[in-house]
Chains A and B, each alone.
Chain A
């Protein structure tokens, strides 16, 4: 089925809940009100004309610092310096968080993309894990890395990081840890090259070799 037709069916079901339809994008996508997302997903799965039986992907997104003009001027993320110390910033993040859903139907052979957007302070979206069981792990990962809570999730623990980890790494303002639970996460300064590119040692190069070159 055509993307526009799918959206019309969905908008007919959701009414006010369907916020916008971006059909000019590389991949057309529908913006849904966060509180209606579970409803929308149930409709998309159960309507026999649509029959979206597979959730291909669920992605959590931190929209903080996104360059709306498309010039590539988004805020740079923080990492470690060359000395291995965490970089810090004074900027406070204020952008929204979002979730994208990519659906596929084995029977109808069509795809569809949904997106929701919530304020950073709210950071909560209804779960769709009762619609597609595979969403459970994707949502746990989104909670772990982006910090979006999924209301109604049966087991919302961290997926990849430890339960005691602080912060959500894929947020744009995440400051990398220097130490965690006694494990050093910071790097050490780059070592000097012990074998500088000088003249190679002359003489017998057999096994055992001659005298080693002097250290720099």
Chain B
């Protein structure tokens, strides 16, 4: 890794430059095949980011209904472990990610802030569900509900739904991975979604 990217490494065969087309992921690394062995040209930052995004450890922080969907995401069918985020830690000091899954109340908000402060850097927050995003159904008369957890801690990814399906949480996790990777997320609604939404008959 300490090799200068500009100078060709030992064993590099110019004749087989076409092998450069064999790119696994141009943002992440360049795979160059030589006669001797494979090696990767990349930057330290990218390796670190790749390591971070591949093992995001969330803190066990279930608040309300969404916590059950978070459990379902980590359980049999959806298995969040496939994306390296399955090691739920009971203590914030071992965790990278806080999934705020549920309604944040006034009494809980100070505790949430403390748990967030206990997490070591770098740390990320996913606001899961409409309550955590903006109060949700408790906006109008919720005297004890914080209208949006981003008033307490910075939020990286918002996952809408009440509660969000496990697939949506997984999607949110992948957008967080994109963010860690330093890549622009896919935030354009696909055409088939907008087309489909037009066909839904809404009740007056």
Contact = CB atoms under 8 A, between A and B. Distances in A.
Answer yes or no: do A and B interact. yes
Interface in A197-215: 200-202, 205, 207-213
Given A183-B106, A205-B190, 16 more contacts: A77-B141, A160-B144, A161-B144, A162-B106, A177-B143, A180-B106, A181-B110, A183-B110, A183-B146, A185-B146, A188-B148, A201-B188, A201-B191, A205-B191, A205-B192, A209-B190
24 contacts: A77-B141, A79-B140, A79-B141, A80-B139, A80-B140, A80-B142, A84-B139, A84-B147, A160-B144, A162-B107, A169-B143, A184-B146, A185-B147, A186-B147, A187-B139, A188-B134, A188-B147, A195-B189, A200-B191, A205-B191, A205-B192, A208-B186, A209-B186, A212-B187
A165 to B, nearest CB: 8
A168 B93 CA distance: 37
B151 interface: yes
Nearest to B141: A79
Contacts of A21: none
A182 B107 CA distance: 11
Contacts of B188: 201, 205, 209-213
A181 B109 CA distance: 10
A84 B151 CA distance: 13
Contacts of B144: 160-161, 169, 185
Interface size class of B (residues with CB under 8 A): 20 to 34
A43 interface: no
Given A162-B106, A200-B195, A205-B191, A185 B186 contact: no
B189 A200 contact: yes
A174 interface: yes
A176 interface: yes
A80 B134 CA distance: 14
B135 interface: yes
Contacts of A211: 188
Interface in B164-204: 186-192, 194-195
B143 A176 contact: yes
Interface in B108-159: 109-110, 134-135, 139-148, 151-152
A185 B143 contact: yes
Contacts of B146: 183-185
A63 B191 CA distance: 55
A201 B195 CA distance: 11
Nearest to A176: B143
Nearest to A179: B106
A209 B185 CA distance: 10
Nearest to A209: B188
Contacts of A185: 106, 143-147
Contacts of A201: 188, 191
Given A183-B106, A209-B190, A174 B143 contact: yes
